[in-house]
Structure 1
């Protein structure tokens, strides 16, 4: 067997050779941290291609495709070129298959020309996919050297449905080895960086999608989430996303880590620069009846009644709870400012905002993390042993790592070193998780006494992460996101603002919950984070995707109106 380092070098070279030479740009110097404007500056994209790729509302793109104002070939080409720019700036891609995607786009244009009808609700739309969604004839490397040369003989169910909906899958995006990191780095493709500041991470494990979408190299992407892997990159990269409930969307046929672990299911969801993209994707996939292709998919049709917030007072006067602090780590100043802005915007729009009281948060987190390592890390070791590559045990760069006072993530102290759990011990963890879910449900229901609406709090607003994007290797906080995976709450992320060094001053020292809380406090430097996106998450109930999307639209409108009013 060729040694693993040689295999990585060969695969990375093959990736470079898959890029059309005329799409290579003069890359900016490595010390240019913010590269968001390079697509406009580099000269590769025409005026029309810039117009196409700067259109962030997916609904508008689909309307122009359906009317033939834009062809699928030109839209796919424009986004492909911009995706290749993004790759040269952030290292966000894995699979690049230009001719295959353009062939698909040409076929869709011909169908529309000959029939006058679109091929589905996503007709002609290029869609990027996290490197888990198998596509026939392509490798699914998924962050492991052993994936090199492993070509799929069929499409995953999601890809099947995307084709039926008329979409054009056109690139696949980078992930971390093991998938279980909030950072994106592996031995095969290397590290993905954040285009807002390349010194900082784009998050993980859907970090390739995050970086690509941030720089508008894709109109709509698909990632996955088991502990925050959709929401963390979306928050770091200024995007919208949806973490749906277990099995609401079809995962069958996709590659994964910890595949036999079914107590806390990994879920897939959309990532986009507009909430319209989130809604269109979710509705299109559900309308395709995924339960007919995936035996695990929930047989639940899209509900316009739920989207109209029938169980939330019709959306006229919602009551939101804000989780200012989860009792484990305190958010950085920009996150607190974002929550204050959101509270004022919602109140100005006529809604009620109350403080949310965290409930058994640390117990929930400890239970989840113990379930994740119940195999003692064997899943990771076996996957690495197939190629001989070493298991990555830190995401810190080999050179130039940012100084940190966090010697050991709190989760390691909380859970202890990975160890094999007996079947009985694992069953008890599952039993404990069910009890925690019931306890959290009762806690939520009890808020009916405080809202004044006759309903419990409609949704919770909180940080997705305690900070904006951090230097590479330092993303240790998944306390806010894992709550939703364990409780199976449908959850969105939406952008609110950007870090502003003139406003977001360090807060005075406080009594720290634990050493990680202290390390996160000490990490804050407004100059380091200046200009980075700040997003929040909106937490709804289980199997409540339609309502969560609708409430996110309401929050988004309120924020836009508030900013307009207060800037005039």
Structure 2
């Protein structure tokens, strides 16, 4: 039998995807490609009814109450978000798998259950939830951007998919990722490139970029992403969303497909992206209510802890001490990122909290350790996975690769880390893992030592930092995850919070050149031109310690409320 060329597989897969889109939802009035900001288009396009606009603009806590009380049906809510998801896809190319008929059948069953019993199925009853492509759903592909994995539907649900359905959620779409997942952008040969709805000349980030773009356009109330070096937090930040990177083993990962399988020194974790901080809490509390440690052996046996959420270990939240990391000692952030940090500081001071400066501890070491561990077997992993289809390994996220198979860079070009040609020996990998262990100990000691300067009798309660040294960047240039990957190495819980601000060419003018910290710092400085980043949201990151998800969410609520109050005062 003749071998099918990988581009033929791509053509067939794209044809199948197109056929899964309801024909009545295909828009004839899409904005021109020159229209950069399309964030408001879904409500103006004419496809959504007034009630569907209301539903998709409502925060998750309120949606869940209306579903539980029978004010809104799951079919209504699922239809509203499905239509808005299809609009979003036509604007920014954010979806991979679309199974709306299946979702509506599930929603109808949930409505019938509520009507018959008067009870909800679970805490997420009737709520649509989108999934990053790698989360397996029985009978549906998880290509993860690999042509090799096309038309090979999953035999079983991932554990998280089962848990979400047990909570009453409705699964309806999966979202786009970069081939290999090891990029801060989103492009693959099968589904192409996802763009940022605030400015389509910019990336939505990666690798959960499809989720970020979809939720920014309110095509989903909650989406599940994964985070190995920032892949939840970078898309959350670039799209003006909330996103949680929890500690290893807090959310079940079993049954998902992934790159670098078997690399468990810095594991990837699943986490939510959403438009409200209340939805972050609802997601984690709901997942933990199902005792996921009984279904995934790597999940930590830790139920939701209400005392930790009430900040019992942090003075009950009456006066917190936050430390702001203005830069990581490696790359100085662009002016809008700095403005977001300054706004956060003023908001927290006005709310009665203490704010001090954070001195980063050898963050370049964390970056190097992560690159070594990820790179130990990455080259072979990518080669083995792509070999059956013959598809090229993507070596750049530059716009010139929008035509599948075309790459202007030499084959030895890589993502942010550079895998050694022959990998690492077991001994060399052990040394990198030892460096990671020693770094975690040093950082713990460094954090504990701040008890001498906080004025609260406790060490710093949380660190506030940039999510990246830049806001959403032009396609092909988001290559430095240093501000996120450090927390993966340390296994600290970290929550992205939008500041409500965006890049303003008048306010965010370039600063005079400083003494550059590193070569990448100089490159980052030189790439900044305010007009190239216009409309991009500005976000910050709130980071606590290992397994402090409840406390980080609670402290995030405090930061979020302070920022919103400060914006009201300024306006």
**TM value normalised by structure 1:** 0.97
> 2:129 is matched with which residue: 127, 130, 147?
127
Matches within 5 A, 1:89-108: 89-108=91-110
1:477 CA drift (Å): 1.5
Aligned equivalents of 2:95, 2:394: Cα separation in 1: 20
The residue aligned with 1:313 is 315
Matches within 5 A, 1:109-124: 109-124=111-126
Is residue 33 from structure 1 mapped to residue 40 from structure 2 by the alignment?
no
> 1:241 is matched with which residue: 240, 243, 258?
243
The residue aligned with 1:490 is 493
The residue aligned with 1:63 is 65
The count of residues paired between Structure 1 and Structure 2 equals: 562
> Is 1:72–1:108's contact at 8 Å kept on the other side of the alignment?
yes
Of stretches 212-221 and 518-527 in structure 1, the one that deviates more from structure 2 is: 518-527
> Is 1:376–1:421's contact at 8 Å kept on the other side of the alignment?
no
1:205 to 1:418, Cα distance in 2 relative to 1, 3 A: farther
Which consecutive unaligned segments of at least 5 residues does structure 1 have? none
Is residue 426 from structure 1 mapped to residue 438 from structure 2 by the alignment?
no
The residue aligned with 1:250 is 252
Aligned equivalents of 1:131, 1:412: Cα separation in 2: 20
Is residue 153 from structure 1 mapped to residue 181 from structure 2 by the alignment?
no
1:410 CA drift (Å): 12
> Is 2:141–2:152's contact at 8 Å kept on the other side of the alignment?
yes
The residue aligned with 1:511 is 515
1:514 CA drift (Å): 2.1
The residue aligned with 2:339 is 337
The residue aligned with 2:49 is 46
1:418 to 1:269, Cα distance in 2 relative to 1, 3 A: farther
> Is 1:469–1:532's contact at 8 Å kept on the other side of the alignment?
yes
Aligned equivalents of 1:88, 1:135: Cα separation in 2: 24
DSSP-derived class of the 2:230 partner: coil
The residue aligned with 1:471 is 474
Is residue 214 from structure 1 mapped to residue 216 from structure 2 by the alignment?
yes
Structure 1 residues 73-113: Cα deviation after superposition (integer angstroms, max 9, x where no partner):
01000000000000000000000011100000000000000
Is residue 502 from structure 1 mapped to residue 494 from structure 2 by the alignment?
no
1:318 CA drift (Å): 0.4
The residue aligned with 1:295 is 297
DSSP-derived class of the 1:260 partner: coil
1:257 to 1:410, Cα distance in 2 relative to 1, 3 A: closer
Structure 1 residues 499-524: Cα deviation after superposition (integer angstroms, max 9, x where no partner):
11121111101111222211111111
DSSP-derived class of the 1:446 partner: helix
Which consecutive unaligned segments of at least 5 residues does structure 2 have? 404-408
The residue aligned with 2:406 is none
Matches within 5 A, 1:342-421: 342-375=344-377, 377-398=379-400, 417-421=420-424
Aligned equivalents of 2:412, 2:357: Cα separation in 1: 28
1:411 CA drift (Å): 9.7
> Is 2:496–2:541's contact at 8 Å kept on the other side of the alignment?
yes
> Is 1:73–1:109's contact at 8 Å kept on the other side of the alignment?
yes
RMSD over aligned CA atoms reads 1.8
DSSP-derived class of the 1:421 partner: coil
Aligned equivalents of 2:416, 2:164: Cα separation in 1: 43
> Is 1:373–1:419's contact at 8 Å kept on the other side of the alignment?
no
> Is 2:466–2:540's contact at 8 Å kept on the other side of the alignment?
yes
Matches within 5 A, 1:317-328: 317-328=319-330
Structure 1 residues 31-51: Cα deviation after superposition (integer angstroms, max 9, x where no partner):
111111111111100111111
DSSP-derived class of the 1:398 partner: helix
> Is 2:396–2:413's contact at 8 Å kept on the other side of the alignment?
no
> 1:200 is matched with which residue: 195, 199, 202?
202
Structure 1 residues 469-507: Cα deviation after superposition (integer angstroms, max 9, x where no partner):
111010011000000000000000000111111211111
Of stretches 444-453 and 424-433 in structure 1, the one that deviates more from structure 2 is: 424-433
The residue aligned with 1:186 is 188
> 1:544 is matched with which residue: 543, 548, 551?
548
Aligned equivalents of 1:531, 1:551: Cα separation in 2: 27
1:430 to 1:473, Cα distance in 2 relative to 1, 3 A: same
Aligned equivalents of 1:376, 1:87: Cα separation in 2: 31
1:329 to 1:493, Cα distance in 2 relative to 1, 3 A: same
1:419 CA drift (Å): 3.9
1:418 CA drift (Å): 4.8
